[in-house]
Structures are given as C-alpha cells and as structure tokens.
Amino acid sequence: MNKGFVVWITGLPGSGKTTIARGVAEKLRQKGLKVELLDGDEVRRWLSPEAGFTREDRTRHLIRVAHVAKLLARNGVIVIASFVSPYRDVRRKAREIVEGEGIPFIEVYVECSLEECIRRDPKGLYKRALRGEIKHMTGIDDPYESPENPEVKVNTEKYSANENIRRVMREIEKII
C-alpha cells in the first residue's frame, strides 16, 4: 500500500472506543500492515497538553490530530484515531483534511447510551462531572452530536467487542 487510510472512531466517553480501536489495530497488524493507534488521552498529553475541554480547545486539538493522521496515512500507515470528537462539524473538517489528500476516511460511530456509559464510567469522569468537579464533560454539560452517516455503526450494549471489531474490519476489507 502506497497510502494508508484513517479510521476515525467516535462515541461518548466510556462507550468502548478504545477497546474497538485496539482490537482493529491488532487485526490489521496480524495482516502485516503498518498501523498507528492515536487514542484520545495519550495523544492529548503529547500533542495538545495545553488544551482544555472547551469547544474551541477540542476543535483545535482534533484538527491537529487530523493533520497528524493525514501525514501518517500519506506515508502508508493505517491510522486508527479513537477520540470522543463530539461535534459533527469538527469530524467533517477532519474528514475534509484527510480526504483532501485522496486518503480514505472511515467514520465509526460507537453507539452506547449515556446511562450505560455512566454505569461503566471506567475513569470516574462522569461521577466527578455530576458532582460539578469537571466542566465541559461530554454528555453531561457539553453535547455529543451523533454522526448522521457514519460508514460503520457499532453498538457496545447489543454486541460483543469481537462482533463490533468484525463489523469495522468488514468495512476496512473494502479498502485493503
């Protein structure tokens, strides 16, 4: 492959994005492909350590991520980008940045109810937001705008991680 592509995984915090992203990355690596996983918390630390969680900060950060993803994909790397990325317009801009280079972009929506995400709360963020300790928490006092036409929609309440990974891989197989 001369060019890679970008799989942009979006969903509420705690929806299961990272689990799916890691699973897809592993399946692709098993095929001998070059894969880079860009995961929200990790990338924020090294790419946008100054960024908060306001709409403006999130937008600036995600545009940076889109440019990094584009550069990697342009050089033959498959990029799995796992970010809450709550706003449709910012995801649209990320798609434009990537596709503007002729690089395929697959949007994956990890659907999970807010109630289930709060129940899971792997990092304790929802509890803290509900106590007023965290501001701009997606799903609590900041909106999450579900994708209108993602290439893939998975549901982590209805299907297992393995089934959801298989669904994403079916879409990826169309490219590779």
Joined together, the tokens standing for residue 65 give 């991520």
Task: Establish whether 146 is a catalytic residue.
Answer: no
**What tokens does 12 get?**
């509420």
End-to-end Cα spacing for the chain? 8
Number of H helices, E strands in the chain: 7, 5
**Active-site residue among 15, 85, 113, 146?**
85
- Round to whole Å and give the CA distance between 58 and 73: 22
For residue 157, the tally of other CB atoms under 10 A from its CB is 12
Q: In the beta sheet, which residues pair with residue 7?
A: 80, 106
Q: Three-state secondary structure along 60-118?
A: HHHHHHHHHHHHHHHCCCEEEEECCCCCHHHHHHHHHHHHCCCCCEEEEEEECCHHHHH
Which are the catalytic amino acids?
A: 85
